[in-house]
Amino acid sequence: MSSLVLLQNTSDPNGPLEGWHVGTYNPDMAKRTAVFVYCPQLEQYPYPPEHPFKTDRAQKARQIIRSMGWLDGPGIKEVHPRPASRIALRKFHTARYLHVLKSASGGKWDGQALTMGIGTSDCPVFGGMFEHAVWAAGATLMAVKAILTGQAQVAFNPHGGFHHAHPERASGFCYINDVCLACQVLAEAGRRVFYLDLDVHYGDGVAQFFYDRSDVLTCSLHEDPRVLFPGTGFVEEIGEGPGKGFCVNIPLPVGTYDMVYLNAFECVVLPIAKAFDPDVFVIELGADALAGDPLAHLQLTNNVYADVLARIIALGKPIVMTGGGGYHVDNTARAWALAWGVVTGQDSGADQNAGLGGVMLGSPDWAGGLRDRELPVSEQQRQVVSGALNATIKQVKRLIFPLHGLAAD
């Protein structure tokens, strides 16, 4: 089975996105191929030292992946991106915003920048701020190209996932919304896109942009917005107009653990994904939903990410995957390395590489390999969390399922 895609103009292999032509993508040919997008230039532009966002997470994830031998082998390729072009950035951001952002990065900023969220404690001004954002976005767009040109069925940019940025406002550590750009480029190429956001924070920038559209379905599992930034992403936010039913939110109660999370995913996300029947998945793999993250309150292990990705892979669709949140650096790096192992078919289960994780990461906390140890769940936690999440599942089904021809019961 094959389908139409856009292939890049061969006369300019590094040209803008508009220079592509129609070609054919065969999922069988790309079945075993994967692209890992890595951008060493981003290491030159760290956020301020006191900021919780640490740009070395991708580097540490790559070190683990490389030590496992997972960057080699048939069909696996590491590629280096280039900065996103202004033409590409304008698919989401306004020219005025890009000008102010670049000027602020160069040391020239004023009250207008502040009204755009630039210069706040969340989105501080620092040298190379603009360069970091456009390189990260370029890396995600490189992942998109790998999918659209048929080079790979899976492409991963651990540098990406800046889902809070808005067309004319920085927010939540995010300046350029690379995942929104990815969805937009895929949609322009005629792709039906299922955007799955696993970050503990609601991906408001992406959801709002596609809120009245049906070609991109946004689905987010995130901590209860009553207790966590950005304060939106309630069940009732389901899209409007042609997009009604194409914005799916599953708020998670404090203390959510693996079993109930997977139950929500299987009861809600999988049926909707099958009904929507996308051409491609874009996955924001924020690791801040893991237990121990300093900015959130969930109790997940990285096993849940592995299980979710395995279920998505079984649907047989191409995947563009990015990083995202994750403020316990070692846990995040290990989770992303495990995710790469799963999507490339190189991780074979919970016992693989037992005893290596703690050693490789220089941590005495856990020596059980890349996969986290199982966390205990108290009876009180089980009752409170499962009760609240079951009620949420019923509400999502009632609001969303009939709009996709699914039974709510």
Contact status, residue 287 vs residue 326, Cβ threshold 8 Å: yes
- Report which of 117, 372, 102, 130 is spatially closest to residue 229, judged by C-alpha positions: 117
Pairwise CA distance, residues 113 & 341, whole Å: 41
Cα 108 to its chain centre, rounded Å, is 31
Q: What are 190-205's pLDDT values in tens digits? A: 999 999 999 999 999 9
Active site residues: 164
Identify the pLDDT of residue 350.
Answer: 53
Identify the pLDDT of residue 102.
Answer: 97
* Tokens, residue 317: 């669709």
Contact status, residue 272 vs residue 404, Cβ threshold 8 Å: yes
Pairwise CA distance, residues 174 & 261, whole Å: 26
Q: For residue 167, is pLDDT > 90?
A: yes
- Report which of 231, 230, 238, 232 is spatially closest to residue 213, judged by C-alpha positions: 238
Q: What are 203-248's pLDDT values in tens digits? A: 999 999 999 999 999 999 999 999 999 999 999 999 999 999 999 9
Q: What are 49-84's pLDDT values in tens digits? A: 999 999 999 999 999 999 999 998 889 999 999 999
Q: What ranges make up the beta strands (E) of 166-266?
A: 193-197, 216-223, 247-252
What per-residue string of b and e applies to 112-134 under the rule 16 or more CB within 10 Å gives b?
Answer: ebeebbbbeebbbbeebbbbbbb
Q: What are 11-43's pLDDT values in tens digits? A: 333 333 333 323 333 333 333 699 999 998 888
Given 3-state DSSP classes, what are the helix, strand and coil percentages for the chain, each rounded to the nearest 5?
40, 15, 45
* Tokens, residue 395: 């509400």
Identify the pLDDT of residue 23.
Answer: 33
155-164, 296-305, 336-345, 351-360: lowest mean pLDDT where? 351-360
Tell me what the mean pLDDT of segment 253-273 comes to: 98
| Amino acid identity, position 251 | P
Question: Between 355 and 230, whose confidence is greater?
Answer: 230
Average pLDDT, the chain: 89
Q: For residue 121, is pLDDT > 70?
A: yes
* Tokens, residue 339: 């995710």
Contact status, residue 70 vs residue 340, Cβ threshold 8 Å: yes
Q: For residue 124, is pLDDT > 60?
A: yes
Q: What ranges make up the beta strands (E) of 26-176?
A: 34-37, 76-79, 154-157
User: DSSP secondary-structure letter at 174?
Assistant: B
* Tokens, residue 59: 């580097």
- Cis omega (within 30 of 0) on the bond before 364? no
* Tokens, residue 107: 């040391």
Pairwise CA distance, residues 277 & 227, whole Å: 33
**How many other C-beta atoms lie within 10 A of the C-beta of residue 258?**
21
**Helix ranges restricted to H, 18-124:** 57-67, 86-89, 95-105, 111-115
What residues form DSSP beta bridges with 18? none
What residues form DSSP beta bridges with 5? 23
pTM for the full predicted model = 0.90
**Helix ranges restricted to H, 119-217:** 129-148, 178-188, 204-209
Diameter over CA atoms, the chain? 63
Identify the pLDDT of residue 368.
Answer: 55
Q: Any idea which architecture 3-404 has in CATH?
A: 3-Layer(aba) Sandwich (3.40)
For residue 197, the surrounding DSSP H or E stretch is: strand 193-197
**How many other C-beta atoms lie within 10 A of the C-beta of residue 239?**
21
